[in-house]
Structures are given as C-alpha cells and as structure tokens.
A and B are shown apart, each in its own frame.
Chain A
Amino acid sequence: MKNHSGIKKLLFAGLIIAGISALTAGCGGGPGGSGSGVLGGDVASRVYVKPGSYDEFYAFVSGGFSGQISVYGIPSGRLFKVIPVFSVDAEKGYGFNEETKPMLNTSYGFVPWDDSHHPELSQTDGQTDGRWVFINGNNTPRVARIDLTTFETVEIIEIPNSGGNHSSPFTTENTEYVVAGTRFGVPYPQKDVPINSYAENFKGALTFISVDPEDGDMDIAFQVLLPAFDYDLAHSGKGASHGWTFFSSYNTEQKNSLLEVSASQNDKDFIAAVNWKKAEEYIKAGNYKEMPARYANNEYSDKTHSATSTMKDKVKVLIPSECPGLVYFLPTPKSPHGVDVDPTGEYIVGNGKLSADLTVHSFSKMLKAIENESYETVIDGIPVLKYDDVVAGVVTKPGLGPLHTEFDGKGNAYTTFFISSEVVKWKLGTWEVLDRGPCYYSVGHLCIPGGDSKKPDGKYLIAMNKITKDRYLPTGPELTQSAQLYDISGDKMELLLDFPTIGEPHYAQAIPASRVVDKVVKFYPIEANEHPDATKGEGAAKVERRGNEVHVYMTMIRSHFAPDNIEGVKMGDKVYFHVTNLEQDWDTPHGFAINGARNAELLIMPGQTETLVWEPQKEGVFPFYCTDFCSALHQEMQGYVRVSAANANTPLKWWLGEEEVQ
C-alpha cells in the first residue's frame, strides 16, 4: 500500500519524480503497489448496481486511437456498447457492408481509421439534452454525430484545410454550432511549399459547424483564419458569455521542428476569444472570402438504412483583420491545454500545462478591456488584451501540469494534473484549494456529468488516465487503459472504482439515463424500410442475375433464411446479398456470414436491410449461417450457395424447404 499521508513536501517531490518517469515512459512504476490507500467504508455498495437494475448515468467514453465511442453505465463502470464511428468494425459490418462504406469516405478516399478524442453531448439552454453525441476525428479532420435514439453514427463531416482536429467538437449552449480548431498549422489552402516557410504560408483555421436544430444536419458555416498557432482545445461561453467561443493555443512561436523545446519558449501563449455572433453578422453582410476546399459530408438514414457521401468544394472564410471585433487574444501562461468555462459563463479557466499555477480569466473584465481598447499589441489584425486587464484570479501552486477543468455547479472546480497525477478541487472566486485526490496514473481529461454545461449533474467524477502500470493484471507490454470513478457529492472526493476502457479513454461525457432511455428505438418498423433492395416478406425473396452480378434478395426470421439454397452462381460473379431482417421485436438481430467472404459479417437489426458483397474464389458449395445467437434453432439457421465454373450451364435456382421459391 502506498502511503499518501506523508509529509507534504516529500510527497510533492516524489510526485514530480513519478510524473517525470511517467513522461519518459517505461521507466517502471513501483512494483506491486495497489495504490488504493484512501478507500474506506463500504465503497463497493456505492458502485454496485444489482443484477437487472439500470445505472443512473450513461457515460460516452471516447475510444481514443480506436476511433470509436464506448458506452458505459455509471456508477457500475459496465460496458454496454462500442459505437463504431471513425474506424471500421468487422463485428458490426461497419465500413464493410455497402450501406456504411460511404460513412468513411473523405476527400482522400475511403479512410478506415481515425483517432477520436472528445465526445460532446448536444445541449439545449446549456443543459445536456440527450439528442446527439458529437466527436472529433483527429487525424483526418472530421466531426461525427451519433444519434442517441439508435446509438449509431448518423453523420460525419470532414474539415477542410485543417490538420489535427483536436480543439473539437465543443458545442454552444443550444448546439447552434460545434467547432473544429486545427491543432497543426497547415498551408491555407493546402499547397506545395517549403516547410520552413511556416510563418508566411501556414495558417490555423477555426471551423464553425452549424447543427440543424430539428434533424441535427451538420454543415460548415464558416472558418476563421488565424495565425498558424496550434489550437489545442475549446469551449463555448454560456449565459453572459453565450455568443463567444474560446480556443486555447500553444506554439505561438510558430515553429515547425522540435516543438518540445521551440514551442515552449514564450512565457505566455493565447486563448483566442471568437465572437461568433459577430461572425454571423459578417457572413450575413457578405464580408467573407469564398475559398476552394474539398470535403466530404456523409449522412446515414434510418429510413433507407444506408449512407450517402456528398463532396463539397468551397467554404466561407472570415479574415480577422477585415472583421474588427471578431477575435481577441487573451495572454495565458505556458501553453494552455484545456480552456474551460464555468457554469455561469464568467470564468474562463486556462490550464497552462507547463505552468505551476492555474490562470482564470474574467469574461466581464475581458469585455471591459475590449471596450477600453486597452491592447498590449495587435497580431495580424487581432488585438492582444493585457494579461492584468483580463485575469480574474490565479490558483497558486495547485499541482503540476494542469490539463482540464470541469465544474460541479456548486461553485467548485475540479482540475486534473497530469504530472502530479491528481485531481484538485478548488473554489471559484476565492481560488483556494479545497481537496486533492490521487489518480492512478497521469490523468488527462475528467468528466463530471454535465460538467462543462450550465447545469452540471454533479455527483460523480470520472478521471481518464493515460497510464495504468500496476493497476490491473498485466497483459504483456500493452496494458489496459483505464478510468477511475470518484464520488464528489461530499466535501472530500472519494475514489470508488477503477474500470478498464476500450482504447484510450481520452475524454468522456455523461448524462442522467432518464434523458435518454425512454427515447431509445427498439426495432425499425418493416413497413417504414425504404432501402431500395429491401425484401419485405418471404414471398418477395428472389435471386436476379445482371451480367456477372448476382443479386440475392434474402430475408431472415427465426430461424431460417429465405431462400436458403441458391444455385447458378459462377466463378467471376459478384454476389450481392441484400438481407432483410423481418423480425419486429426488441433484441432480435440476426447475423449473416458466408464462407470465404473477404470483408466481414452483416449484423442486421430487426426491420433493417444490409448488403454484403461476396466474390467466390473457388468452385464448390459454400455454407452461410446466422452469427448472432437468435433462437433455440439458431444452429439450424443456415444455407448453401453453389458456385459453378464460369462456363457451366447450372441454371439460376433458389428455394426454401421443399418448394422452390421462383
């Protein structure tokens, strides 16, 4: 057991050493330590959700470099579903069946993977409303929207002229916009230039994506073109500061090599404050440039059960020097990482990750400084406000390496410290540290349900750790990733639970289950299925040849396929299995897999149609079967396709049971 009640100074020094060893990676943690020294009382009962009972919260946890989102119950930490978003998922056929392939289309073509970082729940009047979750794709810049009635990805939009979509997709208080700030400066628009021409040719675009209040449809409303700093994170204002979005930045040095050193020189970097209501005025007045761009917007329909990809070719761009009052820079010490706005909208917390202090700006002071035109300097037409004019307070020496802050709605803030591996609770306004809780190890983001909204549903705090070391049974060099659950309802934080996660649990958002659970779709009505290749009854099942394409219109219901015997397929044919699940009950999916398929299976929800393309590689008779255990006669749910030589005369025939269907 590690003892955390030792002399503070010694502990502090120890944490620095632990932090540095974590940073240099792989230097080995203490062997065998369980590190759960502060657990007391009957903690188990507080995370125990008895069999058959529901959790109080849904948590949407990003899969980090898995590219997906996983859905957990809180407080139990039980995993319910992995929602495929930016990466193909053979288990669900996502990105493999014909219907979902367009979801992963980009201006680079089909991209089967991404790095997903920040799930963001939609909000109405500053409160999470349980309609959608947005998440950013970091590597090939994109933003996705997941529908919380089906828990499926229903839209992905690519961000043009951007690189590393990290400060994304943080929402405004009525989900007017989700944003996408580029982490990497890139030539704007992309072109072939020397890398060393960074300062003159590179730019940093902040993209505002509008969200249709009715159907959630995303569109790029405009981009704001800033100097090529690295835009790291963002949060929109709320209440009084509604109408503004704040982006943190580092590398204001505008270096393009050895950033570890070169981008850490300036004493202060900036938080960019963007007045998006002003931006709307400039757009309306036509005071924008239309720039060439190429980006995909992919949408999935629950009616056709299919996605379509549309390529778009221009974007509206606002240039700050031509749009006074659009952007201001707030000097913030030492490469601020997270920028977090408190529930009242007054305080803007800059988590200077290389600073020992935590800087908090005041929105009202910022407005006053703007009014007084009290500028330190102007960069590319963007006024830099004076630090002393905008700072509300400083939390002094709370820990090392502050990254992110969320709020409990009771006047308290919780900040994660990566290097000293802890969450620190402090008070807004007095800036005093109230409590600290160790994390195992090196916490990144944290999540309080609604913790970045106007109305936090605080009670729990989830710490998302970057390193686990000795916390779990080892699994070779690659260890599990992990999150930790704390009870924050009392004065002191209490660690309740460790739970492993899918990929890196980069960030998470949580919502009371009551805002989601009653809207969940149980199955798709078959009569509403508008898939062009749907087969809405066994009587309509058929097989058609069109040149060397064979289209099988197949149905599935407990416990057979119709048809289940098919002859007349020839070598060189491309066989399309359009399979419709005729079930109309909750929890009755069927799977479809065929011997030798070089893509994946289909996993078809009741009332849905999906298509698998199969190109036979050999002559013979090949079985197909249902993969999702559906019924007592699941093992009998199977069939055959006969494949003949290319020049054979085998007639096209299909049947089910003794009668031939055709």
Chain B
Amino acid sequence: MVLAVLALLSLFVFPLWKIVLYAPQYPDGVKMHIWINKIGGETESTLQNINILNHYVGMKKIEPDDIPELNYFPYIILFMAALGLVAAVANKKGLYLAWVVLMVALAVAGLYDFYLWEYDYGHTLDPHAPMQFEGESFQPPLFGTKHIINFTAVSLPHIGGYFAGLSILLAALAWWFKRKIAR
C-alpha cells in the first residue's frame, strides 16, 4: 500500500499525460506534456509553438493560468496520498477497497474533465480565424490517435499516468492479499 502511495506521489515528478502532434514539418512531433499542476512540453517553448499553430484555426490560447484544475489537483493528490498512508497504517482491507474505489472514481472524473477541456478547445473557435474548416473540430483524442487536418494527434498517458494506474493496481493487490489472509 505504501508503494501505491509512492507511485501516486510520482505525479509530482512526471507528467500525467502527453499529446503529440505529428506533421511533415514536425517529424519528431510537437510534444505537449500535461502535469497535475501545469501544462508544458518537451521544451520551454512548446506551448508557444502549439498556440501559434492553433491560432490559425481560431483555437483559444492554452493558458495554464486559465485552468483552475491545475491549482487544486495537487491538493487532491496529496489528500489521496495521506488517505493511502492512513489506510496503510490502519491496515484495514475495507479502507484499501475504499481507496481504490475513490481513486478509480477520481480517474474517471479526471478523464471526463480532460475530455471537457479538449472539447472546449476543439470547438470554441474564433469566427474570424484565418483558416476555417466547415464541420471540422480540432478536439484532440482522449486516448489514442486522431487525424486533425494536416496533423496526426496522439494522446497517451505519460510516465506519471502509468504510475497513477500502477498505484491503483498496487492498492487493489493490497486489498486482495489482505482479503486472502483474512480468510
């Protein structure tokens, strides 16, 4: 269970998610990284470069300051980590299960929130944008690959995302072993 907490805390070290845009002019891809508390990229200027690309089709500028989730998400993670430690100390299988259920619920909520933001960025377009594509949305995929005009967008968990998944798995295992021993 302690390992589950450590895996969860790795979110402060690694990005949660990545969206990579490929095009002929970007053979290595433009790599955006989403953290629990910030949005960045492979380089310091990645976000500026994505915003430049996006402005042609009238997408809003991605301003991390405009996304309140980035402010309170770290506290949720810290709270869950604390709760996990309490569960570990108490060593109760009920608490383990509760933690897993709560984490899954949070993950689903988080992904839904991520989808909403993607929808917002992909559909809220400046009517005066230089380039207009009838009926085209620029919403990146939630998970997997999608072609958006000349770009291939790939959206996948980053290291932090995999650790978060591992965290849930470890907690679930802790619960499962605890239950077995109890029997």
Closest to B150 in A: A632
- Complex CA gap A633/B53 in Å reads 11
Q: Is A636 an interface residue (CB 8 A)?
A: yes
CB distance from A442 to the nearest CB of B (A): 44
Closest to B43 in A: A584
The reply to whether A584 and B45 form a contact with Cβ atoms under 8 Å apart is yes
- CB within 8 Å for A584 and B131 given contacts A558-B52, A632-B56, A633-B56: no
The reply to whether A636 and B130 form a contact with Cβ atoms under 8 Å apart is yes
Interface residues on A, range: 10 to 19
The reply to whether B56 and A584 form a contact with Cβ atoms under 8 Å apart is no
The reply to whether B130 and A633 form a contact with Cβ atoms under 8 Å apart is yes
> Which of A558, A559, A585, A633 is in CB contact (< 8 Å) with B45?
A585
Residues of A near B52 (CB, < 8 A) are 557-558, 583, 585
Q: Is B49 an interface residue (CB 8 A)?
A: yes
Closest to B26 in A: A585
Secondary structure dominating the interface of A: loop
How would residues 64 to 97 of chain B score, 1 for a CB under 8 Å from any chain A CB and 0 otherwise?
A: 0000000000000000000000000000000000
Residues of B near A631 (CB, < 8 A) are 56
Closest to B30 in A: A585
CB distance from B130 to the nearest CB of A (A): 5
Q: Is B136 an interface residue (CB 8 A)?
A: no
Closest to A636 in B: B130
CB distance from B20 to the nearest CB of A (A): 15
The reply to whether B45 and A632 form a contact with Cβ atoms under 8 Å apart is no
Residues of B near A523 (CB, < 8 A) are 45
The reply to whether A585 and B130 form a contact with Cβ atoms under 8 Å apart is no
Interface residues on B, range: under 10
Q: Is B44 an interface residue (CB 8 A)?
A: yes
Residues of B near A585 (CB, < 8 A) are 45, 48-49, 52
How would residues 579 to 596 of chain A score, 1 for a CB under 8 Å from any chain B CB and 0 otherwise?
A: 000011100000000000
The reply to whether B48 and A584 form a contact with Cβ atoms under 8 Å apart is yes
- Complex CA gap A633/B131 in Å reads 9
Interface positions, chain A 509-563, Cβ under 8 Å from B, are 523, 525, 557-559
- Complex CA gap A525/B48 in Å reads 13
Secondary structure dominating the interface of B: loop
- Complex CA gap A631/B130 in Å reads 12
Interface positions, chain A 161-188, Cβ under 8 Å from B, are none
CB distance from A629 to the nearest CB of B (A): 12
Closest to B131 in A: A632
Q: Most A CB atoms within 10 A — which of B45, B48, B49, B56?
A: B45
- Complex CA gap A632/B130 in Å reads 10
CB distance from A126 to the nearest CB of B (A): 36
Closest to A522 in B: B43
CB distance from B96 to the nearest CB of A (A): 47
Closest to A585 in B: B49
How would residues 34 to 50 of chain B score, 1 for a CB under 8 Å from any chain A CB and 0 otherwise?
A: 00000000011100110
Residues of B near A583 (CB, < 8 A) are 52
CB distance from B172 to the nearest CB of A (A): 43
Residues of A near B131 (CB, < 8 A) are 632
Closest to B53 in A: A558
Closest to A526 in B: B45
The reply to whether A584 and B44 form a contact with Cβ atoms under 8 Å apart is yes
The reply to whether A584 and B130 form a contact with Cβ atoms under 8 Å apart is no
Q: Most A CB atoms within 10 A — which of B49, B52, B56, B131?
A: B52
Residues of A near B45 (CB, < 8 A) are 523, 584-585
- Complex CA gap A187/B153 in Å reads 71
CB distance from B183 to the nearest CB of A (A): 59
Residues of A near B56 (CB, < 8 A) are 631-633
Closest to B130 in A: A633
Closest to A525 in B: B44
How would residues 612 to 637 of chain A score, 1 for a CB under 8 Å from any chain B CB and 0 otherwise?
A: 00000000000000000001110010
- Complex CA gap A558/B130 in Å reads 12
Residues of B near A584 (CB, < 8 A) are 43-45, 48-49
Residues of B near A557 (CB, < 8 A) are 52
- Complex CA gap A585/B56 in Å reads 17
How would residues 141 to 174 of chain B score, 1 for a CB under 8 Å from any chain A CB and 0 otherwise?
A: 0000000000000000000000000000000000
Residues of A near B48 (CB, < 8 A) are 584-585
CB distance from A628 to the nearest CB of B (A): 15
- Complex CA gap A523/B48 in Å reads 14
- Complex CA gap A287/B149 in Å reads 75
Residues of A near B49 (CB, < 8 A) are 584-585
Closest to A607 in B: B45
CB distance from B113 to the nearest CB of A (A): 29
Interface positions, chain B 1-57, Cβ under 8 Å from A, are 43-45, 48-49, 52, 56
CB distance from A88 to the nearest CB of B (A): 32
- Complex CA gap A631/B52 in Å reads 10
- Complex CA gap A631/B49 in Å reads 12
Residues of B near A636 (CB, < 8 A) are 130
CB distance from B41 to the nearest CB of A (A): 11
Residues of B near A559 (CB, < 8 A) are 130
CB distance from A349 to the nearest CB of B (A): 47
Interface positions, chain A 77-118, Cβ under 8 Å from B, are none
Closest to A582 in B: B48
- Complex CA gap A234/B111 in Å reads 70
Closest to B45 in A: A584
CB distance from A535 to the nearest CB of B (A): 16
CB distance from A636 to the nearest CB of B (A): 7
Interface positions, chain A 319-365, Cβ under 8 Å from B, are none
Residues of A near B44 (CB, < 8 A) are 525, 584
- Complex CA gap A583/B43 in Å reads 13
- Complex CA gap A632/B23 in Å reads 14
CB distance from A583 to the nearest CB of B (A): 8
Closest to B55 in A: A558
Q: Most B CB atoms within 10 A — which of A523, A525, A558, A585?
A: A585
- Complex CA gap A557/B130 in Å reads 15
Closest to A606 in B: B45
CB distance from B40 to the nearest CB of A (A): 13
Interface positions, chain A 257-293, Cβ under 8 Å from B, are none
Beyond contacts A558-B52, A584-B44: 8 other A-B pairs, Cβ-Cβ < 8 A, are A525-B44, A583-B52, A584-B43, A584-B48, A584-B49, A632-B56, A632-B131, A633-B56
Closest 8 CB pairs of A and B: A584-B45, A585-B49, A558-B52, A633-B130, A584-B48, A585-B45, A632-B56, A557-B52
Query: Would you mind naming 10 contact pairs between A and B with Cβ atoms under 8 Å apart?
Result: A525-B44, A557-B52, A558-B52, A584-B43, A584-B44, A585-B45, A585-B48, A585-B49, A585-B52, A632-B131
